[in-house]
């Protein structure tokens, strides 16, 4: 009888909250924050721009769930938020019952009476989905379904970017519980179970990361998704804006020239393009200063273009081309010496073309060698990943059969 009365109160609260959410959806058409309209547009545009389904900053879980209602209209998406908030309230009530809290149905009212939750209950914000994933993960964890709770918790990063940190903390929590042997935990939480570990044990590497690789695989799921989404579409807009700015272009081109191994190839190709264009222009009778101003952009690197521009300014004062190029530090010494010889022999245009041919042949050999080495390296990495996944899957089977 007491259980029936408790459920009746809970359903009554849910009906009241549903009425409040519907009133918010139909009486107030505007969003309480600008982000609500932005998230709605992301969900609607995802069918035209599929990268929004995986973009980190596009909240892929929200976009995937709201993509269909967004096609119907703005109000349909808001009504879906009302349903999600009712699911949050329902799961919070059930969690309160699992924890054996007195008057558990009042948890529904306490959730909805929060000002921020009440504002978001009929809005297109990502917080309700984040809260729903969080409370479901808590219920699973409390019921000792550690792995299922970790899988659900890894979805938090899909709802909001800060879910990465909660996902990582949740993974560490799950590994620590595994070290304690969650199957042997008491049915009722005790002070010893709920007590926080001391500083020494908190920073110790969990042994379950070694003895239970399937738990480690689940614990790292959030980070792997973040990395994959970042590679596919995350922060692409910010990178584009940074690359379009003059400071960003200089820093990026400087990085390209300084990267170990790759920098030498980029520098050789840029200098080869510059030398070929400059030599071709000089062969066709274009003056040296005008040829330099044209050829500097052919290098495709603003750092080298700046060094060439400074060299052109020095030529106007009567200096040679080789000396300012060498003093810039961006051109290899052997290239500078060959340019100096070409100037002294009055055969600069032919020397520049020969330099371009030499650099291109050498660069092609280096690229071909790297490509040949890349394939076995990728195979080794993929083999290691597959081996880890296979071990994580087969280990519990072998342990349960008594082989290990």
Q: Which two tokens stand for residue 205?
A: 């590497």
Q: Do the domain assignments include residue 397?
A: no
Domain boundary among 118, 137, 163: 163
Same domain, 8 and 157: yes
* Range(s) of the domain holding residue 43: 2-163
Distances (CA, A) of 165 to 155, 171, 228, 230, 320: 12, 10, 16, 15, 58
Domain count along the chain = 2
Residue pair 295/361 in contact (Cβ under 8 Å)? The answer is no
What phi and psi, each to the nearest 5 degrees, are found at residue 319?
Answer: -90, 165
Confidence band (pLDDT; 50, 70, 90) for 136?
A: very high
In a domain, 238, yes or no: no
141 token code pair: 């964890």
**Average pLDDT score over the chain:** 79
245 domain residue, yes or no: no
Last residue of a domain, one of 114, 135, 163: 163
Please say whether the beta carbons of 273 and 356 come within 8 A: yes
Instruction: Mark which of 163, 178, 212 sits at the end of a domain.
Output: 163
308 in any annotated domain = yes
Alpha carbons 3 and 257: distance in angstroms, whole number: 71
Q: Is residue 66 part of a domain?
A: yes
Separation of alpha carbons 133 and 402, rounded Å: 36
pLDDT, tens digit, for every residue of 351-372?
A: 989 999 999 999 899 888 888 8
Q: Are 395 and 213 in contact (CB under 8 A)?
A: yes
Neighbours of 214 (CB within 10 A): 16
Q: Is residue 173 part of a domain?
A: no
Asked if residue 174 lies in contact with residue 219, where contact means CB atoms within 8 angstroms, the answer is yes
Using pLDDT thresholds of 50, 70 and 90, give the confidence band for residue 197: very low
User: Which pLDDT band holds residue 346 (cuts at 50, 70, 90)?
Assistant: confident
Question: How far apart, in whole angstroms, are the C-alpha atoms of residue 178 and residue 399?
Answer: 16
Q: Give the three-class secondary structure for 12.
A: helix
12/131 same-domain check: yes
Domain for residue 13, yes or no? yes
Structure token digits, residue 220: 């790292």
CATH number of domain containing 302: 1.20.81.30
Query: Would you say residue 38 lies in a domain?
Result: yes
- DSSP string of 104-116, one letter each residue: TTHHHHHHHTSHH
Give yes or no: residues 152 and 272 share one domain: no
Question: What is the pTM assigned to this prediction?
Answer: 0.50
Number of helices followed by number of strands (H, E) in the chain: 23, 0
- 15 pLDDT band (50/70/90 cuts)? very high
pLDDT tens digit sequence for 234-249: 556 566 677 777 788 8
pLDDT greater at residue 54 or residue 179 = 54
Same domain, 143 and 279: no
Per-residue buried b or exposed e for 293-326, using 16+ beta carbons within 10 Å of the residue's own CB:
eebbebbebbbbbebbeebbeebeeeebbbbbbb
**204 pLDDT more than 80:** no
Kindly state whether residues 17 and 142 are assigned to the same domain.
Answer: yes
């Amino acid at each position: 009888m007491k259980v029936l009365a408790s459920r009746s109160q809970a359903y009554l609260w849910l009906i009241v909250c549903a009425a409040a959410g519907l009133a918010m959806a139909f009486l107030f058409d505007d969003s309480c924050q600008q982000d609500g309209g932005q998230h709605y547009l992301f969900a609607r545009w995802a069918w035209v721009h599929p990268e929004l389904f995986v973009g980190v900053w596009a909240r892929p879980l929200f976009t995937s769930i709201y993509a269909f209602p967004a096609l119907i209209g703005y109000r349909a998406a808001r009504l879906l938020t009302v349903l999600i908030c009712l699911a949050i309230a329902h799961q919070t009530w059930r969690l309160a019952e699992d924890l054996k809290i007195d008057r558990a149905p009042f948890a529904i009212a306490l959730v909805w009476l929060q000002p921020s939750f009440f504002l978001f209950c009929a809005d297109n914000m990502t917080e309700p989905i984040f809260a729903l994933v969080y409370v479901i993960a808590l219920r699973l964890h409390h019921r000792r379904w550690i792995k299922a709770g970790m899988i659900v918790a890894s979805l938090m990063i899909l709802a909001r970017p800060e879910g990465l940190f909660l996902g990582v903390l949740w993974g560490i929590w799950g590994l620590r519980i595994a070290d304690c042997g969650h199957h042997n935990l008491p049915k009722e939480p005790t002070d010893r179970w709920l007590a926080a570990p001391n500083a020494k044990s908190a920073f110790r590497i969990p042994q379950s990361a070694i003895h239970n690789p399937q738990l480690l695989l689940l614990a790292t799921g959030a980070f792997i998704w973040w990395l994959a989404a970042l590679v596919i579409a995350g922060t692409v807009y910010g990178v584009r804006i940074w690359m379009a700015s003059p400071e960003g272009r200089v820093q990026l081109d400087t990085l390209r020239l300084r990267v170990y191994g790759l920098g030498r190839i980029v520098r050789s190709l840029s200098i080869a393009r510059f030398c070929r264009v400059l030599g071709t222009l000089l062969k066709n009778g274009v003056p040296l200063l005008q040829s330099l101003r044209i050829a500097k952009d052919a290098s495709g690197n603003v750092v080298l273009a700046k060094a060439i521009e400074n060299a052109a300014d020095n030529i106007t004062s009567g200096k040679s081309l080789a000396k300012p190029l060498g003093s810039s530090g961006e051109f290899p010494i052997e290239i500078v010496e060959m340019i100096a010889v070409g100037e002294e022999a009055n055969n600069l245009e032919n020397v520049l073309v020969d330099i371009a041919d030499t650099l291109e042949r050498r660069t092609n050999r280096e690229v071909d060698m790297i490509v040949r080495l890349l394939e076995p390296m990728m195979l080794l990495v993929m083999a290691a990943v597959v081996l880890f996944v296979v071990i994580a899957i087969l280990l519990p089977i072998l342990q349960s059969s008594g082989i290990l």
